Amino acid sequence: MNDAAMPSAAPLTLTDALNQIDESFSEMLLRKIDESGMTDAQCYKKANIDRKLFSKIRSDRLYKPSKPTAIAFAIALELPLAEMKEMLMKAGFALSRSNKFDIIIEYHIMRGNYNIFEINATLFTYDQNLLGA
């Protein structure tokens, strides 16, 4: 491969690339909780997540949540859609226009509805997985 095909800022080695790893889901979640002014307990309760699971996430910076758990926290933090998508990406997920669950989540967020119980009611109506524990 010639130099013209490689981006100028490309890491020289795989080790260099791995040393430039982004903030993890857990790190972003904890940062967003701090920025929101919420306590940890307020956030996980609003997300409908139990303390035990939150404790796992807090203690393991590389914890990989389920997609509904990641979305529940983004909703509890009332993140705008772009930030929700960023948080999901850090957990290895994305929202898809070919998935009813994702369309329902996006529909509510685009309308400023961050009420997890109302969102769960809609998810239930369409026979989709619910958010939280």
**Comparing C-alpha atoms, which of 8, 57, 68, 4 is closest to residue 31?**
57
Residue 6 lies in a domain: no
Give the CB-side neighbour count of residue 48, counting CA atoms within 13 A.
Answer: 16
Residue 12 lies in a domain: no
CA–CA dist 10, 81 (Å, integer): 30
User: 1: pLDDT confidence band, cut at 50, 70 and 90?
Assistant: very low
Residue 63 lies in a domain: yes
CA–CA dist 88, 80 (Å, integer): 12
pTM as predicted: 0.86
1 Cβ contact list (under 8 Å, min separation 6): none
Residue 13 DSSP class = S
For residue 48, give its domain range: 21-125
Residue 1 lies in a domain: no
The count of domains in the chain is 1
Residue 11 lies in a domain: no
Residue 3 lies in a domain: no
pLDDT in tens, 23-59: 999 999 999 999 999 999 999 999 999 999 999 999 9
CA–CA dist 37, 25 (Å, integer): 19
